[in-house]
Amino acid sequence: MTEWRGEAPAAEGEGTEPPTAKRTPESPADEDELMEEVCKRSNLIRAWERVRANKGSPGVDGMTIEHAEGYLRQHWPTIRNQLLCGTYRPQPVKRVEIPKPGGGVRKLGVPNVIDRLVQQAVLQVLQSRWDRTFSESSFGFRPGRSAHQAVAKAQAYVADGYGWVVDMDLEKFFDRVNHDILMSRVAKRVSDKRLLKLIRALLNAGVMEDGVVSSTDEGTPQGGPLSPLLSNLLLDDLDRELERRGHRFCRYADDCNIYVRSQRAGERVMKGVGHFLTTKLRLKVNESKSAVARTGERQFLGFRISNGEEPIRHIAPKALKRFQERVREMTRRTLGVSIRQLIKSLSRYLTGWRAYFGFCQTPRVLHTLQARIRRRLRMYIWRQWGNGRNRYKQLRRLGVPHVRSAVAAGAPYREWRMSRHAAVQQALSNAYFASLGLPSLEPPDSAQPNRTAVVRTRMPGGVGGGEP
């Protein structure tokens, strides 16, 4: 799941081949009428469609998407005039905390709907100009680029013999972006003083938390459409420095991995790049989360790339653990909903998870996870059937012979053990769950023998077995 609003459109189909276009020279700041382009009707219509599609919660003013539509019909001429005159003042963002997958919380800043529209309109104008100047090794929140492309490029580096990774974690990056440094980079590309003033005002709008507004002297709040582009602009300095030094790297937003041939080289790179980030960009490297290690010992965007002549993409252990915990929560025995309702809710999560992590090259893991899910559903149904009499009746209804049904219905074992009973598996077969709409995690060609199909991956939390 992403926290951004109004980010660059994803690559169509999630291809894995990175674009081959080279970084184009940066355009000089010679356009003084960018604000007129921001306020063009066609640009605003596209921006509004994007904001409406992203939905999102109200900001500090409580205005919803539905209410904003009527408000804009009445007040847009005034707002447009303020933008063109350079007097528009954005409202503070609303602080929202969401749990991080690895623990802790991530603080988002949610602008109100009108400010989201303004940011999206600015994003569309600036991104079309700036994106082509960014590095080929930058993949986060850019049109036509994806996390899968970043992982594939990292895998290619490992295959070329760069089996050590400098995994750098920037400490609270989005909260610590220096406004003056960022605005100096913006000013090199934008000469329209009204737009510069607006971007500065968006950065300094403040944050409302528990009814109290506090000023923001640094940071680009996650949650606004413009923040990803501004973060890419600032970290483009890092990309240029890494390219100047001849390093092989992949960056996705603030997640940057540099690939080298040895531990000694990695330690040297870690020291040099850390000094650059601290002195030039005033950013801090989180030493406790950063490391120089074999690629197989670290994760990148939810994947782990094994070492060797033919490196393989594995799902990272932490990602597997989060998946198991989420499925366990969604299929808990005391949920109290019908199996159709449960599968409908579960399917939405599984479909999104498969779209991303199906990019792994370990189909055996996906097969094992699929079996685990079906076993939990059998356990859930067995509990719903309640007592021996009803369990016998349901087994017979689903085609299980009399003797086998009677033995299963009278068994003294708990639900989890019974979910592996032959009679239960016969009644609640794989085809039965498919008929209820349970999506498959396995790729369509997983039944075909191939080298990656026999890779054995240790599953956290005791996942394994369950069904053929």
pLDDT tens per residue across span 233-249 = 999 999 999 999 999 99
- CA 272, chain centre distance (Å): 29
Residue 149 φ/ψ, nearest 5 degrees: -65, -40
302-326: average pLDDT? 94
Q: How far apart are CA 433 and CA 378, in angstroms?
A: 10
> Which one, of 180, 270, 254, 191, lies nearest residue 222 by Cα?
254
pLDDT score at 383: 93
**C-alpha 441: how far from chain center:** 19
What pTM did the predictor assign?
0.83
pLDDT value, residue 377: 96
Query: Token pair 């012979």 is at which residue?
Result: 401
Give the max Cα distance, the chain: 85
CA distance 112 to 63: 7
* C-beta of residue 136 within 8 angstroms of C-beta of residue 18: yes
> In 3D, which of 223, 243, 239, 221 has the Cα closest to residue 173?
221
CB atoms within 10 A of CB 216: 19
Q: What are the residues facing 108 on neighbouring strands?
A: 96
Residue 187 has pLDDT above 70, yes or no: yes
| Amino acid code (one letter) for 373 | I
Q: What is the pLDDT of residue 457?
A: 35
List, in sequence order, the alpha helices (H) in 282-362.
317-330, 339-357
**Whole-angstrom distance between the N-terminal and C-terminal Cα of the chain?**
31
Which range among 50-54, 337-341, 442-446 shows the weakest confidence by mean pLDDT? 442-446
Say how many C-beta atoms besides its own lie within 10 A of residue 41's C-beta. 8
Tell me which of 377 and 333 has the higher pLDDT. 377
Looking at residue 221, its pLDDT comes to: 74
> What does the pLDDT average to over 162-187?
92
Q: Report pLDDT for 309.
A: 83
Compare 98 and 401 and report the one with higher pLDDT: 401
pLDDT per position as a tens digit, 201-225: 999 888 877 677 776 777 787 888 9
| pLDDT for the residue 24 | 66
The chain-wide mean pLDDT, for the chain, equals: 86
State how far the alpha carbon of 339 is from the alpha carbons of 39, 161, 344, 383, 388, in Å: 50, 49, 8, 11, 19
Helix (H) or strand (E) holding 94: strand 93-99
Q: Is the pLDDT of residue 156 over 90?
A: yes
Q: What are the structure tokens assigned to 390, written together?
A: 């009803």
- pLDDT score at 6: 41
Task: Report pLDDT for 380.
Answer: 95
**Predicted local confidence at residue 89, as pLDDT:** 94
Does the pLDDT at position 455 exceed 80?
no
**Spatial contact of 19 and 145, defined as CB atoms under 8 Å apart:** yes
> What pLDDT, on a 0 to 100 scale, did the predictor assign at position 208?
79
Highest mean pLDDT, choosing among 34-43, 93-102, 441-450: 34-43
Q: Residue 33: what residue type?
A: E
Q: Residue 454 pLDDT > 70, yes or no?
A: no
125: closest CA among 229, 10, 223? 229
pLDDT of residue 26: 58
Name residue 455's beta-bridge partners.
Answer: none
CA distance 8 to 127: 8
What's the pLDDT at 445?
Answer: 59
Looking at the chain, the whole-number percentage of residues with pLDDT higher than 90 is 72
Measure the CA–CA gap between 441 and 421, rounded to whole angstroms: 23
Count how many Cα atoms sit within 13 Å of the Cα of residue 22 in the half-sphere of its side chain.
Answer: 3
Highest mean pLDDT among 4-13, 115-124, 455-464: 115-124
For 154-247, strand residue ranges (E) read 164-169, 207-209, 212-214
Worst-scoring range by mean pLDDT, 54-63, 64-73, 154-163? Answer: 54-63
What digits encode the pLDDT tens for the residues 111-123? 999 999 999 999 9
Q: Say what the pLDDT of residue 421 is.
A: 95
